[in-house]
Amino acid sequence: MTYFIPGPMSRGPLGGGELERRRGYLERHAAPGTSVSVRDWHRGPASIESSAEEYLSVPGLLEAAPLLEAEGTGAIIVGCFGDPGLSGAREVTAIPVVGPGQASAHLAAQLGSRFAVLTVVDEVVPAIRRQMRGHGLDGFLSEVLAVDVPVLELRGRRDEVVDELELAGRRALRNGADALVLGCMTMGFLDVARDLQEQLEIPVVNPVLASLKLAETLVATGMAPSAAAYPTPRKRLDAATV
Amino acid sequence: MTYFIPGPMSRGPLGGGELERRRGYLERHAAPGTSVSVRDWHRGPASIESSAEEYLSVPGLLEAAPLLEAEGTGAIIVGCFGDPGLSGAREVTAIPVVGPGQASAHLAAQLGSRFAVLTVVDEVVPAIRRQMRGHGLDGFLSEVLAVDVPVLELRGRRDEVVDELELAGRRALRNGADALVLGCMTMGFLDVARDLQEQLEIPVVNPVLASLKLAETLVATGMAPSAAAYPTPRKRLDAATV
Amino acid sequence: MTYFIPGPMSRGPLGGGELERRRGYLERHAAPGTSVSVRDWHRGPASIESSAEEYLSVPGLLEAAPLLEAEGTGAIIVGCFGDPGLSGAREVTAIPVVGPGQASAHLAAQLGSRFAVLTVVDEVVPAIRRQMRGHGLDGFLSEVLAVDVPVLELRGRRDEVVDELELAGRRALRNGADALVLGCMTMGFLDVARDLQEQLEIPVVNPVLASLKLAETLVATGMAPSAAAYPTPRKRLDAATV
Amino acid sequence: MTYFIPGPMSRGPLGGGELERRRGYLERHAAPGTSVSVRDWHRGPASIESSAEEYLSVPGLLEAAPLLEAEGTGAIIVGCFGDPGLSGAREVTAIPVVGPGQASAHLAAQLGSRFAVLTVVDEVVPAIRRQMRGHGLDGFLSEVLAVDVPVLELRGRRDEVVDELELAGRRALRNGADALVLGCMTMGFLDVARDLQEQLEIPVVNPVLASLKLAETLVATGMAPSAAAYPTPRKRLDAATV
Amino acid sequence: MTYFIPGPMSRGPLGGGELERRRGYLERHAAPGTSVSVRDWHRGPASIESSAEEYLSVPGLLEAAPLLEAEGTGAIIVGCFGDPGLSGAREVTAIPVVGPGQASAHLAAQLGSRFAVLTVVDEVVPAIRRQMRGHGLDGFLSEVLAVDVPVLELRGRRDEVVDELELAGRRALRNGADALVLGCMTMGFLDVARDLQEQLEIPVVNPVLASLKLAETLVATGMAPSAAAYPTPRKRLDAATV
Amino acid sequence: MTYFIPGPMSRGPLGGGELERRRGYLERHAAPGTSVSVRDWHRGPASIESSAEEYLSVPGLLEAAPLLEAEGTGAIIVGCFGDPGLSGAREVTAIPVVGPGQASAHLAAQLGSRFAVLTVVDEVVPAIRRQMRGHGLDGFLSEVLAVDVPVLELRGRRDEVVDELELAGRRALRNGADALVLGCMTMGFLDVARDLQEQLEIPVVNPVLASLKLAETLVATGMAPSAAAYPTPRKRLDAATV
């Protein structure tokens, strides 16, 4: 399967090494027999920290998804917690396309009654609320809290992030959450969910692993998003854009 | 204000005359003193009949919106019932950006208890259901029905469309709807809503007029989408995409 | 169109000058070509600050509405945020009858995700919560806060009201609202919404303008509340009451 | 306790004998020791078959309720399924004021998962839907069906009503209801609920008995509607209307 | 009717006297003519303070319910606020089986807009939240608060319980509740609801009385849970367990 | 991990061979490295086709779960679609306990907008509706349909079951479902989901595989149900039952 980063990560500050590092992380957590490749795209935002940037990442995904399917990949994981373009990508492919935000929320909703999302910057908080409403999961979301560290600084300020996540997590618990979701893929790759889970003694969903495991589940069981919910567009997309 | 068509309509089968025709229609229905321009974009889908095509129309909107704002337009109407890119465009501008689907649904919800949406082709039915869920309006939507005529054939098959809308409208009424919404902007510009309303004796919302009037309302009252809900992205978008 | 005050305002402490003042305010904000008259009624409460007083204002509205329609008015705005008698007045007329609370809430719900209502006295807080539930808008309402100034003292204590609104607005923001609605028509005529909006940097809906603009929208587009949702009563109302 | 009919029933076609008949019915079904009086009012609609008529019945209730309380009655049952004026009457009294529609719906919601309401004429169908939404009980309501017999003809066309109720009840069952509510007090006094229940083998709530038993429950347990939800109006109502 | 305690209370620390005391309490609050017996069961938990203990109490209820019905009892009250086994017991009997939690919640929802539940220990808080969601009453529940006194210590620490209930009740009020429900039957039998109600001036539902009165209502009106919602199992239960 | 059948299947008509057959099926679908054992219990219903039988299966689960945990199993799958005892079993263990109904519903909700459940007999239809409401998933459920074949006859009438599932599935599709869930574990082990999926061209969730994959996911990611949602009971359960 393919973890698809809808932007030019290898040409940005994180560099191509980050792709390799992510592939390693995914493979270490994949079920035996699952092979995972990581791909970025030559166009798209350097990082995704707003609804606007989410949208700018989608044309890359829509162009790449049929190519990846044609290459034979078994499933695609959208490399952004906001699930940008999820419905569109499902329309243009027959293989499973997995949204990390959706996968994480449904996982958290099975482990507790109400989950909080802990994310990077304040600007994405309302976008994540809209995302959960759009997925029909409003009733499970208690709140969204930000640690105020931008995506591209997460790795360099890892200790600070860990401390802030613990603070935000404790606040969310006091406000009624009984499960947490990390609301950013780069945060997921920091590999802090499990430590946080042990400190706070409630489940902390890592969206990287939630989406990886959902992709594995769909491939293993021969399932894919419904063609009745995501019908193939009547026009060819490359003809559709002039 | 500007009615923005997020694709190259003037270079497509409808041609530049269609832009002028739409401008005329809008001006005839605008309040005195409101001036409306109609703009299309050099990139984007020829028509929007799927979630994928909705997404492909968004980069144009995100690029155009700040330019239109800089030119001094007072408000932008997104030229697609699906409201593609609405949240993103609101993030990158301070002027009102209006979504026809959202405006129509909130108008219909004030005129009855449950509205049905009548739209073009089956492929957009699930997208419209997701759209209403995303806007938090699930509880007002009774169903979405399609007349099975593609966008680009609507004008040429006008009589058939009118007949099919009446049939679909009667079915929606029997199933419990007490208001209707036309779920396509080209359908709105066909100018059939009012006749349908008289035939069926329930309100029929034309999304062209619903969005025009909401834009006028926001301009007249000095209101715009909340900066707390649509914060300005921290990074400049033109720097964000490589 | 007619702004209808369902009580004897001209004979109360505010006097007939207040009607003229309100007419002036409405005309200044109306679209060119819209003429607005303001009418009060010889019976009804001096002000409306409870569910009971809302109900006492309704017979006047139900008596006046068909008369105003017969006189040729194009639309009626119910002069109370609580929308008292809205469904009844829609049953006995064919022209648009607009509820300021409903119009304001639907407007706010398009500008943010969750709005708070700021109103006059504690006694109306639960009534406004019930009102929003009745309109099916529970999911958009964050909370209702009161400034503890009765309706008839609003004008005399304007500065205090402005300060209290700012305090309440900041509290609502901290609690998660991203838009505000002023929950009283007399508060709306104080003309403080726009200043508050600038101070707090989130949209503040003035129910006077929200209802005026909805009425203009309905008149301009030839729409009215659904006869399927508000059917004409079988018996004549004047025969119905003995 | 007092069963209050908010209109001049004794001077209408049913006459004073109907009041006595209703008192007899209530007393036969009351718990030992409960005494029930039936009162009508000199003003108000002859019957209630629209939202407008509901509203016209409320001033009588608001005037009568404090008088009945002063006379020492233990509770008031509002004599209309639509619960007109319920919140207002609760504000102006400290004793329990019971709404038959609310009481019936909460009873039905405990006996099944989704109930249908069977009522008199089509015109009240949307009003009952709004009523259930207002009570927060939308999720329990499957549909509202009318037998198309006006209130004042119910007794004279009893056999027809019984047949139509059975037909409507079977249709509601097929559509997913597992309990029924009779949506009209005069229908309740026809004493057909129990027969219908035996024919259809699902619970049929008689709103007369549901409200009588709720009133008895509140009196017996010393409970009344919350003063926090229904606060006493600040102004005296008789001063409030000029 | 029978108040059924699904465990060996008479052989536990409270002893057989407690059964007699509860019978006395119920009879004092029953309508004239209602006879109430109190029965415990030889198996089942000593007290119910978790979901697991709720489940362990159900086989006793399912065994006892048909026996009690055969003995001629008119209704069964499940002796636990959590309503354990309610749906199952309704399947295996034709008489009313009443759940105290469900009865209390529906009563509270008629007296205010949002109720809080005050209960014994933190461990049952999430179970009560799940219970209310399962009954479809999420929208009426503001929060669940615990006084941190185990069931079997309630009577011995009565004064402390009363103080803690008042504190918790005031907190719930500040957080938006306008009615309270005591979330434990032993707490109900402490007979503190009415005092608390007077101190806090909002309704406090005693689940003992709420379920007693609902049982009386169902018996008096000849109603029982819907056979369409609680169908008789096809297999005999005694054959079903090997 | 352990697939736990909460009844004496090996001593019933299906016999011990069925356990072995199920173990084989699970192992064939498990990820490499996952070992699955299948265990039944000496007490409990022969099959589960009602709420009552669900409850009767729970004491076995609550007794077995801590024993299985002590034996070192990594996760427990509750062997009934109705998820009987799920919350209780989670309270008494620290390892993941997975409910097939919950796992299937959350999986289906990610593949479409609204799923229908196809199950065995009419008697379980209302129980499954209550189950989905309890899980907070009402908004995703379109309907529940039964094929009218009891659990113990499923294998012997396989062809008929397949035909009936196809008919029911097509009806569900027409009514608006875009995904299906098989609502019975024995139906899941029939291994018909995939064929049905190909015939109907929408996803068909097999609850056996949905729960197996969720269990694998939780084990692989080190997650378990929240201790804040499922706290350990204060009393030892074996002391709790006398």
User: Backbone phi, then psi, for C126, in 5-degree steps?
Assistant: -65, -30
Q: How many residues are listed for chain A in this entry?
A: 242
With CA atoms as reference, the chain B residue closest to D130 would be B113
**pLDDT at residue number B13:** 85
Q: Shortest CB distance from E130 goes to which of A113, A139, A176?
A: A113
Structure-token match 């990820």, residue found:
F31
Pairing verdict, β B179-182 and E76-78: unpaired
Cβ atoms of residues D50 and D73 within 8 Å: no
Q: B130 and F139 in contact by Cβ < 8 A? A: no
Distance of CA F94 to the CA centre of its chain: 20
Measured between alpha carbons, how far is A214 from A227 in angstroms, rounded to an integer?
A: 18
Name the CATH architecture for the domain at F2-99+210-234. 3-Layer(aba) Sandwich (3.40)
Domain ranges of chain A: 2-99, 101-209
- Give the pLDDT band of residue F14 (cuts 50, 70, 90): confident
- Give the pLDDT band of residue A199 (cuts 50, 70, 90): very high
- Give the pLDDT band of residue E12 (cuts 50, 70, 90): confident
Q: Where are the alpha helices (DSSP H) in F117-206?
A: 125-134, 158-174, 185-189, 193-200
**pLDDT at residue number F131:** 98
What would the two tokens of residue A118 be?
């802990």
Could you say which DSSP state residue D184 is in?
-
**CATH annotation of C2-99+210-240:** 3.40.50.12500
**CATH annotation of B101-209:** 3.40.50.12500
Name the CATH architecture for the domain at A2-99. 3-Layer(aba) Sandwich (3.40)
Mean pLDDT of chain A: 96
List the E97-98 sheet strands across, edge first: E37-39, E2-4, E76-78, E97-98
Nearest-CA distance from E165 to chain C in Å? 24
State the angle between helix axes of D207-221 and D15-29 in degrees (0 to 180), rounded to the nearest 10: 60
Beta bridge partners of D78: D4
Tens digits of residue pLDDT in C4-34: 999 999 998 888 899 999 999 999 999 999 9
Q: D178 and F126 in contact by Cβ < 8 A? A: yes
**pLDDT at residue number A14:** 84
- Give the pLDDT band of residue A83 (cuts 50, 70, 90): very high
Tens digits of residue pLDDT in F124-180: 999 999 999 999 999 999 999 999 999 999 999 999 999 999 999 999 999 999 999
Interface test with E, best of D180, D217, D230 (most E CBs within 10 A): D217
End-to-end CA distance of chain D: 31
Measured between alpha carbons, how far is B7 from F34 in angstroms, rounded to an integer?
A: 51
What would the two tokens of residue E115 be?
């109720």
Interval E78-85 mean pLDDT? 98
Neighbors of chain A with 3 or more C-beta pairs under 8 Å: B, C, E, F
Q: C226 and B203 in contact by Cβ < 8 A? A: yes
Q: Which residues of E touch D196 (CB under 8 A)?
A: none
Q: E129 and A113 in contact by Cβ < 8 A? A: yes
What would the two tokens of residue A176 be?
């009624």
Q: Supply angle C-alpha D139, D144, D145, rounded to 5.
A: 155
Neighbors of chain E with 3 or more C-beta pairs under 8 Å: A, C, D, F
Residue B73 three-state SS? coil
Q: Which residues in chain B land under pLDDT 70?
A: 238-242
Contact call for F and C: 3+ CB–CB distances under 8 Å: no
Q: D91 and C51 in contact by Cβ < 8 A? A: yes
Q: Shortest CB distance from E49 goes to which of F89, F123, F234?
A: F234
Q: Report the complex ipTM.
A: 0.96
In chain A, what percentage of residues exceed pLDDT 90?
A: 94
Q: Which residues of E touch A139 (CB under 8 A)?
A: 138
Name the CATH architecture for the domain at D101-208. 3-Layer(aba) Sandwich (3.40)
Q: E89 and F52 in contact by Cβ < 8 A? A: yes
Nearest-CA distance from F41 to chain A in Å? 26
Q: Name which of F24, C84, A106, C6 is nearest D51 in CA terms.
A: C84
Residue F130 three-state SS? helix
- Give the pLDDT band of residue E48 (cuts 50, 70, 90): very high
**pLDDT at residue number A242:** 54
Tens digits of residue pLDDT in D81-117: 999 999 999 999 999 999 999 999 999 999 999 999 9
Q: Which residues of D touch E203 (CB under 8 A)?
A: 223-226
Q: Which residues of F touch D176 (CB under 8 A)?
A: 143
Residue B85 three-state SS? coil
Q: Which residues of A touch F205 (CB under 8 A)?
A: 223
Q: Which residues of C74-91 are buried (b: 16+ CB within 10 A; e: fewer)?
A: bbbbbbbbbbbbbbbbbb
Measured between alpha carbons, how far is C2 from B227 in angstroms, rounded to an integer?
A: 34
Interval D210-227 mean pLDDT? 98
Q: Which residues in chain C land under pLDDT 70?
A: 239-240, 242
The secondary structure element, H or E, covering residue D108 is helix D100-111
Tens digits of residue pLDDT in D18-30: 999 999 999 999 9
Q: Name which of D173, D176, D130, D167 is nearest D148 in CA terms.
A: D167
Neighbors of chain F with 3 or more C-beta pairs under 8 Å: A, B, D, E
Cβ atoms of residues A7 and A48 within 8 Å: yes
**pLDDT at residue number F194:** 94
Q: Which residues of F174-211 are buried (b: 16+ CB within 10 A; e: fewer)?
A: eebbbbbbbbbbbbbbbebbeebbeebebbbbbbbbbb
Interval F103-118 mean pLDDT? 98
Kindly tell me the sign of the dihedral angle through the C-alpha atoms of B74, B76, B77, B82: negative
Interval A130-157 mean pLDDT? 96
**pLDDT at residue number D4:** 98
Q: Which residues of F49-85 are buried (b: 16+ CB within 10 A; e: fewer)?
A: bbbbbbbbbbbbbbbbbbebbeeebbbbbbbbbbbbb
Nearest-CA distance from D126 to chain B in Å? 8
Q: B111 and C197 in contact by Cβ < 8 A? A: no
Q: B106 and C110 in contact by Cβ < 8 A? A: yes
Q: Do domains B2-99+210-240 and B101-209 have the same CATH topology?
A: yes
Nearest-CA distance from B117 to chain F in Å? 15
List, as one string, the DSSP characters of chain C. -EEE-SS-GGGSTTHHHHHHHHHHHHHHHSPTT---EEE--SSSBSS--SHHHHHHTHHHHHHHHHHHHHHT-S-EEESSTT-TTHHHHHHT-SS-EE-HHHHHHHHHHHHSS-EEEEES-GGGHHHHHHHHHHTT-GGGEEEEEE----GGGTTTTHHHHHHHHHHHHHHHHHTT-SEEEE--HHHHHTT-HHHHHHHHTS-EE-HHHHHHHHHHHHHHHT----TTTSPPPSS-HHHHB-
Measured between alpha carbons, how far is A203 from A217 in angstroms, rounded to an integer?
A: 20
What would the two tokens of residue F100 be?
């097939």
- Is the pLDDT at F15 greater than 90? The verdict is no
Interval E147-172 mean pLDDT? 95
Give residue ranges of A with CB < 8 Å to any F CB.
29, 31-33, 99, 102-103, 106-107, 109-113, 136, 139-140, 173, 178-179, 194, 197, 201-203, 205-206, 209-210, 213-214, 216-217, 220-229
Cβ atoms of residues B102 and B209 within 8 Å: no
Interface test with C, best of E113, E137, E174, E175 (most C CBs within 10 A): E113
Measured between alpha carbons, how far is F128 from F134 in angstroms, rounded to an integer?
A: 10
Q: D173 and E229 in contact by Cβ < 8 A? A: no
Select from 3.40.50.12500, 3.40.1350.10, 3.40.50.1100, 1.20.120.430 the CATH code of C101-207. Answer: 3.40.50.12500
Could you say which DSSP state residue A6 is in?
S
Measured between alpha carbons, how far is E117 from E144 in angstroms, rounded to an integer?
A: 5
Region label for A154, one of left (φ > 0), alpha (ψ between -120 and 50) or beta (otherwise):
alpha
Q: Which residues of C touch D58 (CB under 8 A)?
A: 55-56, 58
Q: Which residues of F touch B130 (CB under 8 A)?
A: 113
Give residue ranges of B with CB < 8 Å to any C CB.
29, 31-33, 99, 102-103, 106-107, 109-113, 136, 139-140, 173, 178-179, 194, 197, 201-203, 205-206, 209-210, 213-214, 216-217, 220-229
Interval A52-79 mean pLDDT? 97
Q: Name which of D239, D196, D210 is nearest D105 in CA terms.
A: D210
Interval D36-45 mean pLDDT? 96
List the E204-205 sheet strands across, edge first: E141-146, E115-119, E179-182, E204-205
Nearest-CA distance from C188 to chain A in Å? 28
- Is the pLDDT at D240 greater than 80? The verdict is no
